[in-house]
Structure 1
Amino acid sequence: MKHLVEVEPATETAGPAYRNARAKDGLLQPPPGLHSCWDIFRASVEKYPNNPMLGRRSVVDGKAGEYTWVTYKEVYDVVMKLAASISKSGIKQGECCGIYGANCPEWIISMEACNALGVCCVPLYDSLGAGAVEFIICHAEIQIVFVEEKKITELEYWDTHESFWWAIQ
Structure 2
Amino acid sequence: MSMLGTVGPPVPYVEVRLESVPEMGYDALSKESPRGEICIRGDTLFSGYYKREDLTKEVLVDGWFHTGDIGEWQHDGSMKIVDRKKNIFKLSQGEYVAVENLENIFGQAPNVQIWVYGNSFESCLVAVINPNKQGLERWAESNGVSGDFASICGDAKAKEFILEELSKTGKEKKLKGFEMIRAVHLEPVLFDMERDLITPTYKKKRPQLLKYYQGIIDDMYKSMK
TM interval, short-chain normalised: under 0.3
Larger radius of gyration: 2
TM-score normalized by the length of structure 1 = 0.26
TM-score (norm 2): 0.21
